Amino acid sequence: MAFQKAVKGTALIGGGAIATVFGLSQFSQYRNKHGALVQVQAAEGAPLRRDHLPTREQQILALQSSGEFDVLVIGGGATGCGCALDAATRGLKTALLERDDFSSGTSSRSTKLIHGGVRYLQKAIMKLDFEQYRMVKEALEERAHLLQSAPHLSAPLPIMLPIYKWWQLPYYWVGIKLYDLVAGSQCLKSSYVLTKSRALELFPMLRKDKLVGAIVYYDGLCSQGCVGLAAGMCSQVCGVCGVCCRDVLTGQEFDVRAKCVINATGPFTDSVRKMDDQEVPNICQPSAGVHIVMPGYYSPDNMGLLDPATSDGRVIFFLPWEKMTIAGTTDSPTDVTSHPIPTEEDINFILSEVRNYLGTDVEVRRGDVLAAWSGIRPLVTNPDSKDTQSISRNHVVTVSDSGLITIAGGKWTTYRAMARDTIDAAIREHNLKAGSCKTMGLQLEGAQDWSPTLYIRLVQDYGLESEVAQHLASTYGDKAFEVAKIAQVTGKRWPIVGKRLVSEFPYIEAEVVYGVKEYARTAVDMISRRTRLAFLNVQAADEALPRIVDIMGKELNWCEQKKKEQLEAAKTFLYYEMGYKVKTDQLTDRSEISLVPSDIERYKKRFRMFDKDKKGFITILDVQRVLESISVQMDENTLHEILNEVDLNKNGQVELNEFLQLMSAIQKGRVSGSRLAVLMKSAEENLRRREAIPVDRSGGGL
């Protein structure tokens, strides 16, 4: 979304579902860091300002009929978009191909930090590695640029480093102060030391015993990350003078010619290089990084936590994000795949490290993991190296004998600098006529008229809930008004407009309509990158899917079969890639029942309150009967969903053994938030309160 807002004034070419194509032949206007308006002309003519994005069909037609491009970028992640943006602002006729949605790979599966790399500075100093130092210096400069160019999407975040040994206080203090020093004038805020009492005041969840104090430093947090803007076409490289494209929505194939082809495919870098030259050695070693999302009560609203030395030498961040808590990451060698899957081992490792830093009064439960995902880092390394933890995030730009430009390595924070170096190399190698880089200080569209109080106008002018208005302002910037204009009337006294997709998150139905205009073509696009539901809570995303598919179906004229396919594809995505499978695996028909006899008897008694006929199982009718007796109304579909969560053998009923397995898993912390368990406990307490008190125990009476 950030990149879409930056290039909206260009001639966009492409967009679709399973792969994306968009070209940037003009970039009309942007602000430099001083706020002055600058015009950039395309190679073929005057700048063009568009009030609305062209349709996908218009983009495809333009792609086929635009002749030879100056630059064609393969890969629509942070680096690929950065390259396209850099080339366009220099007046180069540019196209970009992405086989999936924008930022559907590594770029959307990061820690959400915009940072220089504290651990890389430590390695630079300990090993006297000037290259690592230079990378940190550049990343800190780019951190400042990104915070300025997209203030609605990012903000400084204080991060606490708790100290549990006295000797660590001066050691880490010196290191963090050096981090401030390297940032120089770009230092966000100066780091500082906290006493034990002050640290616990700011981060009350911290483990108290042996705590000496803490150090707080500042990095940036990206609230939305780089959300993709369009989806479109699978691409296959044919030499280095263009590509052969296939539109997976229509099956149409056509060639796109270009003077220069840039390979910005992240973990797939070597695959594309080998299409150019089978004998070329690998330059990337993929590393998997798993993250988990937990409820917001695990961390303060505006304070992160850094574990600088985990049990196996890694670094773990614990950060507030979208009113939830994100924890990660792991770092282990992996195979390259389009669909990385988080493992139970990695999730438990992160939970174990979190437990080490939180107080004993905070029970860190496996059941509180609301979402989990794995991203593949495209680290640049010696192909014989097996230790990905020792690899830095330096980027490299290579040019093959046939002229293919490859950009590999690097990190999200430095995407702009990586793009600059790549386009510089392309201009030199292919004698392209273009000026110097113009993206430093470029303010992404949506940021131009944004202010921290913009959301108030949304509340006052449109009658949106305050939480929804804040979400729209921080996601779309000054373009939030375009979403608000198409928001549906609720029919309630308040809010006046803005129907939520799910009650606990501020995403509204109008965002689905707007997302389609931004080239979302699949339900996965919508739940993972136009909204962040899949990354925040897989169950909430699953609940929102039917309505999302209905809205997209109406906008895109899907038939019933197409809607069914989209629903199933999105559910598969949630199940495997976003941690739904490892979450549901916590309660299976093979789960052990480890309850003490008194607990078993107590839960059996609760179960029998619903199973009046002593069948050994309960159905929707049994639950409805009990709810009616305590004057509680609940629709049948909701009841079916609630029972289905516990119906392990999927026979339409919950057996006593399944109920005991559920309660055992809850006691162990492997399952949390079970609606059936809460419902049955609440009903039991209600029924007890309604029981008549015998006369002989009430003190007598007439």
In a domain? residue 149: no
DSSP per residue over 51-65, as a string?
SSPPPHHHHHHHHHH
Residue 52: the pLDDT is 66
Residue 538: the pLDDT is 94
Q: Are residues 270 and 408 in the same domain?
A: yes
Residue 166: the pLDDT is 94
Question: How far apart, in whole angstroms, are the C-alpha atoms of residue 563 and residue 545?
Answer: 10
Residue 444: the pLDDT is 81
Q: Are residues 210 and 237 in the same domain?
A: no
Q: Of 578, 443, 571, 463, give the one whose Cα is nearest residue 510.
A: 463
In a domain? residue 30: no
Other CB atoms closer than 10 Å to residue 200's CB: what's the count? 18
Q: Are residues 682 and 539 in the same domain?
A: no
In a domain? residue 137: no
Residue range(s) defining the domain that contains residue 88? 56-108+226-283+382-430
Q: Are residues 344 and 255 in the same domain?
A: no
Q: 107-154 pLDDT, tens per residue?
A: 888 888 888 888 888 877 877 878 788 889 999 999 999 898 889 888
Q: Report yes or no on whether pTM surpasses 0.85.
A: no
Q: Are residues 293 and 230 in the same domain?
A: no
Kindly state the tokens that stand for 183. 């940032």
Q: Are residues 479 and 567 in the same domain?
A: yes
In a domain? residue 36: no
CB neighbour burial string for 343-370, b if at least 16 within 10 angstroms, e if fewer:
beebbebbbebbeebbbeebebbbbbbb
CATH number for the domain spanning 319: value is 3.30.9.10
Residue 242: the pLDDT is 54
Give me the torsion for CA of 323, 149, 393, 174, rounded to 10°: -80
Last residue of a domain, one of 539, 565, 586: 586
Question: How far apart, in whole angstroms, are the C-alpha atoms of residue 256 and residue 95?
Answer: 9
Q: Are residues 558 and 475 in the same domain?
A: yes
CB of 199 within 8 A of CB of 210? no
In a domain? residue 269: yes
CB of 544 within 8 A of CB of 533? yes
Last residue of a domain, one of 563, 586, 609: 586
Domain count, the chain: 4
Q: Of 293, 314, 297, 290, give the one whose Cα is nearest residue 359.
A: 297
Q: Are residues 248 and 161 in the same domain?
A: no
Residue 116: the pLDDT is 85
In a domain? residue 120: no
CB of 215 within 8 A of CB of 194? yes
CB of 527 within 8 A of CB of 502? no
**Low-confidence residues in the chain, pLDDT < 50:** 1-50, 224-240, 383-384, 693, 695-702
Q: Three-state DSSP class for 556?
A: helix
Question: How far apart, in whole angstroms, are the C-alpha atoms of residue 375 and residue 556?
Answer: 30
In a domain? residue 702: no
157 CB contacts (<8 Å, ≥6 apart)?
113, 218, 219, 220, 221, 302, 303, 304, 319, 320
Q: Are residues 205 and 89 in the same domain?
A: no
CATH number for the domain spanning 499: value is 1.10.8.870
Residue 570: the pLDDT is 96
Chain centroid to Cα 579, Å, comes to 13
CB of 63 within 8 A of CB of 16? no
Question: How far apart, in whole angstroms, are the C-alpha atoms of residue 240 and residue 274?
Answer: 12
Q: 263-273 pLDDT, tens per residue?
A: 999 999 999 99
337-342 CB contacts, 8 Å cutoff, 24+ apart? 337/376, 338/100, 338/105, 339/576, 339/577, 340/109, 340/288, 340/373, 340/374, 340/375, 340/376, 340/577, 341/374, 341/576, 341/577, 341/581, 342/290, 342/292, 342/372, 342/373, 342/374, 342/577, 342/579, 342/582
Question: How far apart, in whole angstroms, are the C-alpha atoms of residue 409 and residue 512?
Answer: 34
CATH number for the domain spanning 635: value is 1.10.238.10
Q: Of 323, 410, 356, give the one whose Cα is nearest residue 78.
A: 410
In a domain? residue 16: no
Q: Are residues 332 and 398 in the same domain?
A: no
Q: Are residues 457 and 559 in the same domain?
A: yes
Residue 178: the pLDDT is 93
Q: Are residues 211 and 348 in the same domain?
A: yes
39 CB contacts (<8 Å, ≥6 apart)?
28, 29, 47
